[in-house]
Structure 1
């Protein structure tokens, strides 16, 4: 169906005029690529063959999606969304011109016909160049031509906005976007000349990159619009990206330990490698947007807005022990103010830093001291090379945890906390074997493939290495193998799972080489022994702690076309107790405790502050109003910090600049140096464990006092 606008929107669009008299044509013409000195990109025979091969391979995908008109519509919409997510480049006339392909892309893919997809990409490139030339023309007229005293706003959430009808309407949007970028730099203390120079350089760089785009860039965007209708983990890797993927999987990459992706014009942080350089630095967070990269402690920060992901990655990578500086727009802030600059020392992620570690601390309750053991597991690892070479001392998660359990046993602990926060998974074998340390025997996880075949993994060892009270601590970044282990502990009622809802990554992928690049696709799904999938929903904790991460931005459920949560027939297993007794009482005691905890009050205040920022879908382009808003937010943030510091007996910050300086210095401390008492979530997991131990003792003694 052709795209139509309702009558009032059409009238509004036709009457739309720009402020400050900045306007070009009232109706846009499709400027041929050759007039813009752009190369007309065309597909290759290798790409055609790879496309046909992909269509055949995806018949094995777990989700049996037929390639028909219905899926063609999804591919069409996804392709346009990938190219122009904020609807700032294409015009209504462009979209209407593309409509004839809406129901044809399925047949195009089957035959390897890429001409229509490339036609759309070439039109996109032409519109982007028009946008960049427009920006450069306005900058040439002078930054002082922009009026920051008038009341004007820019909508920042444009995912459901209409495409512009006229070039005049489109240019008004472009002018506002440019005005916002200028205002951000003014708020960062930059002068007009410096702003004009920086932005002119940025847009010229983007023009140069636009001219360097090749058929592989067009092909990759289109075929991933196709592959990702199956699920977000199914994707095509170009030959260059396939090489980068292999480097990442080998763990030999020297850098900051961050997984990145492109989002609009920005490079977005997906997750941090646990115990990696960025994670240790404690500044960069998932969903942050990287806008600049600098080398060393004083090298110029290169503006990377609009850069290709592989180019940004190349800048961030570097030799071990060198410094990279990242200019970042923090997640959820709507970025009305200047960005933050973080310094990170590059390093390799070492196996010994990824290995399980233990801690020990005591909690006093009603005059009695409880000794709590902690085992922190950053990832599920195994040194395959050493194991295959017959080394009797090869490292693995299960082997290391066995050793740590013996050491904690000598300490005569009263209970154990397994900390799986930020553990993104790893070896399925290790998740299976680790589960076996805490149960005598039985199934651990079920894997169901695309043909409906079910494979049940079993505990390979009939010994039980720890049978005492136990809590498993998780958060939104606990994924995959972490969810398998936590789910098994919950299904066996062997441990209390505490924390927040986990990631929900419950699928298995396979890499298949193509004649041109590689295809990663989903071929199986994980299920708990209770029959519930870990996919999409993840693990819901028994005792809920306040969630740090926004589930709308982070987690499987935040990804488009993620496979759904479902169930299969449960696997026969014997739980270790009929039920976890008095669960509501345990939750109530946790809630009461955090209400008076300075740490959790601080966490909740931060979350409330963040959520208020996330509600904003438009920003002011009035300099005075923007300054006032920035000052108000800084005062709010400073107040939250000082209330917390006062409650903890620390010196309060004098002002916001004092906070930024000291907070940056404190964040450089490695998280391993943090005492358990200062880790609010870990300490509270210990408190819940003590409550659980006391409750079990009370029930055993038939005592009503708790």
Structure 2
């Protein structure tokens, strides 16, 4: 009974602080320039956006709901009474905003700002007492699935939600072995920092949130950028983390990894993954960690970037660990990304054909669709581009007698549309590659206009959920021309083009066009569906266009008459059957499927226990299951089992150290993207001097056996095996046809 009373006392303390000590923050007011900007914003959206939506009463209602969700999506500040008081704005916001009035948006924002300041002030004052009163032996649960939460009926219900949230944060720190005496200090500092940032909110912050609550209803890639955000274009618009090569986005209180820049330091180090959440940042090898939960995105970026060669340490909640993930520390050496490092690379796989024979298969890995526009414009005959590099690699692989090729586009987030078109031209004789429809509904086509030589051998294109934009144009064209097999995971599904529009104050990034395949299908939302599907390494509910609210729909336009180069699609049923039979006994593939099953189970968790014994037992069970999965793979490979996961972690640490050492090279990069969404990862604006050794060195020929590639990358291995299967089936078909003709 005493323990329950202590918890109740903590709630009463917090409630008293909130009820009797409201914040006295000054009202934030909008400016004349923002009134003019609001009018321009509505005009541009209605006139130029591809969706052709009118800002009417219906959209005004959706605007109100989205604005409230953007401000308080976790339902931790507004009560049901607050929401009821805002109902008067539901069908007025369209009339107000179109006429340059921002009363509704700023009234709501000021209410939120007052609640937020009051709450944080109370937390900073009462946290030590709250934590001292917490009992981690009783059975309480913390709700993770906020989508099912209703608005709190009163302040007491909000206080209870906050008590459970703070208790979960404390328990997470206890599970991370944070000393008890440091926990209160950590959380007080976290909320003190948040309060300091909240007190700095101004009219630009309010207007940007209000404006984006509207632009996001048109589509997720249409955004308003305040003057401050426009000035910091590389960080905030491109969301580029200078120094480590990661593209970030805000998600609730967390900084989330949207994707990893190919060939960047984080990519080379290998541990940071898409959808991981960064919770703390430490400088150098042993600097203290700075808690960044609740920080603004640009502030987190500023903390992470730094001079080339220096070290940054990130504490992350891994995406694969689900909502109750354990913290992981990742050490990355900051660097710049060199154009050459993002260049297409080749290697050769030697794969079994049967009867003791092997087949040599060429692999061309394309991290991004790049082109050195500056060198091209100044007339440099040796300017670098994806197509020019791949053309050389194809010639080299043919000289090395490969019998087929794999184009690996996994994690390729796009780049130059011109390069996607030109690259397709290396694999077809001539013809269109993509159709682009403007908001005016005018359609134009782009592609290879002149007949010329091309690689006509067997081809497989490997894609995954992170293959986007230009990657989807290339893969879609190869599929439509029946030029090769597409294998892997369904691609990202970004089939839109954005344009920057200057406004009186700030800028508007607006979706004006959509990409369509020559089949007439859009790449939007659905992406490119592989001929043969592999298990997805990424949760489609977290990553991809379909995971974004208000994404434009998939649709079709008229197809373009085009040649079909082969009947490779007729082999898909047989190839799928062979693939499924082979993968069912492949230990690497089974290991991958086991990991995906665990990740799926973790994602399904909607609440967690606040009983420390229960949570520790759940962690123990997860570790035991992970060990069982690892030892099952090791047994299938004829390796000794591990006694604990610590043995595996030691080998991973050694590999990570090697990767960090490899990343410490001089590098520079420049990338251009036709839709303005490219990311440049660098630590400063100066170009590095290249050593003569770096200029003159050439990569050694890389030939990898089936056993080596299977252990390194089971999906690439399977892509190679599918290409070999296709060759064998075609040879049998040719032999059967020849036999019939002889008879």
Q: TM-score, normalised by structure 1?
A: 0.93
Q: Which residue of 1 aligns with 2:90?
A: 102
Per-residue deviation at 1:18?
10
Partner of 2:216: 228
Once the 2 structures are TM-superposed, how far is the Cα of residue 247 of structure 1 from its aligned partner? Answer: 6.3
Separation in structure 2 between the aligned mates of residue 140 and residue 26 of structure 1, nearest angstrom: 11
Aligned to 2:115: 127
Q: Which residue of 2 aligns with 1:435?
A: 424
Match of 1:4 in 2: none
- 1:432-511 aligned at under 5 Å gives the runs 432-511=421-500
Q: 2:539 aligns with which of 539, 550, 555?
A: 550
Per-residue deviation, 1:320:
1.1
1 or 2 for the larger relative contact order (CA 8 Å, sep ≥6)?
A: 2
> Given the alignment of the two structures, is residue 44 of structure 1 paired with residue 31 of structure 2, yes or no?
yes
Could you tell me which residue of structure 1 aligns to residue 736 of structure 2? 702
TM (norm. structure 2) is: 0.89
Residue segments in structure 1 that go unaligned for 5+ positions in a row: 1-16
Cα distance per residue 1:18-40 (max 9 Å; x no partner): 9533334999999899x513232
Distance 1:126 1:29 in 2: 14
The partner residue of 2:508 within 502, 519, 533 is: 519
1:604 match = 593
Deviation, 1:661, is: 3.5
Moved over 6 A (4+): 25-33, 247-253, 671-674
Kept after mapping to 2: 8 A contact 1:377/1:423: yes
Quick check: 178-187 or 211-220, which moved more? 211-220
Contact 1:255 1:319 in 2 (8 A): yes
Alignment partner, residue 693 of structure 1 = 727
Q: Tell me what 1:373 maps to.
A: 362
Provide the residue aligned with 1:240 in structure 2.
Answer: 228
Verify: 1:54 aligned to 2:41, yes or no. Answer: yes
Specify whether residues 185 and 27 from structure 1 end up closer, same or farther in structure 2 by C-alpha distance, changes over 3 A only: closer
Change (3 A) 1:435 1:375: same
From the superposition, tell whether residues 628 and 32 of structure 1 become closer, same or farther in structure 2 (CA, over 3 Å).
closer
Q: How does 1:192-271 map to 2 (within 5 A)?
A: 192-246=180-234, 254-271=242-259
Q: State how far apart, in whole Å, the 2-side matches of 1:30 and 1:135 are.
A: 9
Once residues 667 and 650 of structure 1 are traced to their aligned partners in structure 2, the CA distance between those partners, rounded to angstroms, is 22
Q: Distance in 2 between matches of 1:143 and 1:31?
A: 20
Q: Which residue of 1 aligns with 2:99?
A: 111
Give the Å deviation of 1:437: 0.7
Farther off after superposition, 671-680 or 455-464: 671-680
* Residues 629-656 of structure 1, C-alpha deviations (whole Å, 9 max, x = no match): 1111111112222322333344543323
Q: Corresponding residue for 1:559?
A: 548
Correspondence list, 1:266-345, <5 A: 266-336=254-324, 338-345=326-333
- Alpha-carbon distance between aligned partners in 1 of 2:533 and 2:457, rounded to the nearest angstrom: 22
Structure 2 SS opposite 1:159: helix
> In structure 2, which of residues 584, 602, 610 is the aligned counterpart of residue 613 of structure 1?
602
Q: Match of 1:679? A: 713
What SS is found at the alignment partner of 2:218?
coil
Distance 1:105 1:695 in 2: 63
1:460-489 C-alpha deviation (Å, 9 max, x unpaired): 442132100000000000000000000000
Cα deviation per residue 1:139-179 (whole Å; 9 max; x = unaligned)?
Answer: 23152310111110011111231111111111111000000
| 8 Å CA contact 1:506, 1:535 repeated in 2 | yes
Q: Tell me what 1:416 maps to.
A: 405
Distance in 2 of aligned mates of 1:669 and 1:30: 52
Q: For structure 2, which runs of at least 5 residues remain unmatched after alignment?
A: 663-701
Q: Deviations over 1:547-598 (max 9, x none)?
A: 1101010000000000000011101111112552231110011111111111
Q: Which residue is equivalent to 2:526?
A: 537
Structure 1 pair 150–246 and aligned structure 2 pair: CA distance change class (3 A) = closer
CA apart distance, 1:623: 0.7
Cα gap change, 1:414 to 1:152, in 2 (>3 Å): same
Residue in 2 aligned with 1:162?
Answer: 150
2:229, 2:236 within 8 Å by CA — same for their partners in 1?
Answer: no
Contact 1:424–1:477, Cα closer than 8 Å, also in 2: yes
Pairwise mapping of residues 605-644 of structure 1 onto structure 2 (< 5 A)? 605-644=594-633
Distance 2:399 2:7 in 1: 75
Look up the SS of the partner of 2:147 in the other structure. Answer: coil
CA shift, 1:251, in A, is 12
**Aligned to 2:734, what secondary structure does the other structure show?**
helix
Whether the aligned pair in 1 keeps the contact of 2:7 and 2:135 (CA below 8 Å) is no
Question: Measured at CA, do residues 600 and 36 of structure 1 come closer, stay the same or move farther in structure 2, by a change above 3 Å?
Answer: same
Alpha carbons of 1:251 and 1:376: their partners in 2 closer, same or farther (altered >3 Å)?
A: farther
Task: Note the alpha carbon deviations across 1:581-633, whole angstroms, 9 max, x for none.
Answer: 23111001111111111111111010001111111100000111111111111
Give me the whole-angstrom Cα distance separating, in 2, the residues matched to 1:465 and 1:669: 39
Deviation at 1:309, TM superposition (A): 0.9
Q: Deviations over 1:418-457 (max 9, x none)?
A: 0000000000110001111111111111000001100011
Q: Distance in 2 between matches of 1:337 and 1:274?
A: 26
Matched, 1:87 2:75: yes
Give the number of aligned pairs: 688
Matching residue of 1:182: 170
Alignment CA distance shift 1:26-1:607 (3 Å):
closer
Bigger mean CA offset, 689-698 vs 558-567: 689-698
Following TM superposition, by how much is the alpha carbon of 1:130 offset from its aligned partner in structure 2, in angstroms? Answer: 2.9
Matched, 1:362 2:350: yes
Residue matched to 2:161: 173
1:147 maps to 135
- After superposition, what is the alpha-carbon deviation per residue over 1:354-413, rounded to whole angstroms, capped at 9, x for unaligned? 111111121122122211001010001100000000000000000001111110110111
Residues 25 and 168 in structure 1, CA contact (< 8 A), matched pair in contact too: no
Distance 2:487 2:466 in 1: 14
- Mapped to 2, the partners of 1:337 and 1:436 lie a distance apart of 45
Farther off after superposition, 500-509 or 129-138: 129-138
